[in-house]
Amino acid sequence: MAVFDISKGIAIGCDHAGFEYKTQLVPWLNAKGIQVHDFGVYENKSVDYPDYAHPTAAAVEEGKAAFGILLCGSANGVCMTANKHQGIRAGLSFMTDVARLIRLHNDANIICIPARFISLELAKEMIEIFMNTAFEGGRHQNRVNKIAC
């Protein structure tokens, strides 16, 4: 199985708790030559995370972005929201091994990052691993096929 084709760019969204990390991740990704579709939030004020998670997930689901990154305090809210989309397999990652396994075994297409609990450097490392890990397929494909309702 192939790793993501990032020629379409990637989608990113966050709430207020993920704002500071997003403001640093977007230029970091751009410096790598990756186009980023930024679905907000655009200022550090309290917002409702679904307002930003839904458009990020829709961009991935509709094939307008290769994959997505969602950030919030715990990453649980954005992860639950994104997973309401039938074509999305969002995984919450808090360590590098999890970032690798949600791709390798679950074919995740959105990584959800808990900005209040990990460092920015760890977030970058997990994104690198996530976008460069291919889905293993095989026995995992049967399981992934059973996820959608």
Contact 111, 99 (CB under 8 A): yes
Name the active-site residue from 72, 79, 85, 112: 72
Contact 34, 9 (CB under 8 A): yes
Phi, psi angles (nearest 5°) of residue 36: -120, 125
Q: CA 133, CA 63: separation in Å to the nearest integer?
A: 19
Q: CA 48, CA 81: separation in Å to the nearest integer?
A: 11
Name the active-site residue from 37, 85, 105, 112: 105
Residue 72 designated active-site: yes
Residue 112 designated active-site: no
Would you name the residues annotated as active-site residues? 72, 105
